[in-house]
Amino acid sequence: MNHSQYPEDILLREDADGAVYFTLNRADKFNTLSEAMMDVLQQELDLIADQPSVRCVVIGATGKGFCAGHDLREMRANPDQSYYQALFRRCSRLMQSIVALPVPVIAKVQGMATAAGCQLVASCDLAIAAKSASFAVSGINVGLFCSTPAVALSRNVPAKRAFDMLVTGSFIDADTALEWGLLSAVAPDSELDNAVTDKVEQILSKSPAAVRFGKAMFHPQRQMPLADAYEFAGNVMAENMMSPDVAEGIDAFLGKRKPVWEQPGND
């Protein structure tokens, strides 16, 4: 297991047995997505995309809040439309990089996740939250409709519920977020670490190749017409069938033994 830190320690990284754990580390600022925070996280995601040894990513945070969205002080210090356009493009690229990453990304949520912080949760493949966590897209409260967070939110939560959150800025609790589809699981506060570890271990126990095939297929097909989605998925599944892991997995199943998956390289 190795540890590394970044300028000002705003993002921490821990590698363990094929999983990468990132920790947003601006607790005094509720882990806002400052330009620097987005830059270091983007840099790390870009590196991971080319690392076959990485099989799962977890994004967590320190302190009382998961992420309070964009850094409002930083935004007010740059009152220029072209600056804001570039800022939101940068954030949108970061969110799309999470979706495009070839391995599952899990949000580990404690405390509040608001505005672009809620967008970050919605952009992850899985999201496990502490029971006490809460969620909002609250830009409307300062006169700003959370338009870019709406893109991710509305792909997780039914339209009327998403718009209600966006137009009122109201908070929802973790159980409601689970019911509405923003979360994949809720755990007692004291069990959050264990719940995330268990999920990571479940993913790591599967064929690395199959998980990558699945991630590459899942999100694109959701945007396709039904017939196109089936055509695309069928081609991916046929390619997946040619993986040595499938032969091993089927032989292991028929032989009533545990499969031994091919391990990706460490390049």
35 and 113 assigned to the same domain: yes
Residues 74 and 187 placed together within one structural domain of the fold: yes
Angstrom distance (rounded) from CA 24 to CA 35: 13
What is the structure's pLDDT at 264?
A: 84
Same domain, 82 and 142: yes
What local confidence, expressed as pLDDT, does residue 2 receive?
45
pTM of the model: 0.95
Tell me, yes or no, whether 148 and 237 share the same domain: no
Sign of the Cα torsion 133, 74, 125, 206 reads negative
The answer on 221 and 164 residing in a single domain is no
Residues 236 and 200 placed together within one structural domain of the fold: no
How far, in Å, CA of 124 to CA of 180, rounded? 15
What pLDDT sits at residue 7? 56
How close are the terminal C-alpha atoms of the chain, in Å? 17
Q: How confident is the model at residue 3 (pLDDT cuts 50, 70, 90)?
A: very low
Convert the pLDDT of each residue in 183-224 to its tens digit: 999 999 999 999 999 999 999 999 999 999 999 999 999 999
Domain around 215: 208-254
Domain boundary at 181, 204, 227, which? Answer: 204
Q: For residue range 90-125, list pLDDT tens digits in order.
A: 999 999 999 999 999 999 999 999 999 999 999 999
CA atoms within 13 A on the CB side of 60: 20
| Co-location of 227 and 179 in the same domain | no
226 and 167 in one domain? no
The reply to whether 200 and 163 lie within a common domain is yes
**Residue 155 contacts residue 96 (beta carbons within 8 Å):** no
